[in-house]
Amino acid sequence: MEFCDECGSMMQTQGDKWVCTKCDHEKLRDEAKEKAMVTTQAQEESEVIESEGGTSGLPTTTTQCPNCDNDTAYWYMQQIRSADESETRFFVCTECEHKWREDDH
């Protein structure tokens, strides 16, 4: 990826030049520099493998299920808002598998 020296916008290749998508600034491409760039096409794809038993690998805690009043649930944390916000804690009941969340404030 190349960024414009003039305005900082992302540039695109056009033949032997980099051209700014915003201000049309151009500069010659450097083959050696481009070989060192990491692209998404060069990255290997990863595969998500779920273990049998679903949530059984998650830690448990004592909390009241709002669905069946069971007092044990699996829990995990997940970032669902912007990076400067705290993570959200999710619970899954060990009995009825009801799922709910508790936001950290």
pLDDT at position 91 over 80: yes
Average pLDDT, the chain: 80
Q: What are phi and psi of 71, to 5 degrees?
A: -105, 15
- Per-residue pLDDT of 41-54, as tens digits, reads 555 555 554 545 55
Instruction: State CA 94 to chain mean position distance.
Output: 27
- Single-letter amino acid code for the residue at 94: T
- Per-residue pLDDT of 19-49, as tens digits, reads 998 898 998 888 877 777 666 655 555 555 4
pTM above 0.85, yes or no: no
Binding site as annotated, residues for Zn(2+): 4, 7, 20, 23, 65, 68, 93, 96
- Give me the CATH code for the 55-103 domain, please: 2.20.25.10
Binding site as annotated, residues: 4, 7, 20, 23, 65, 68, 93, 96
Q: Where are the domains of the chain?
A: 1-36, 55-103
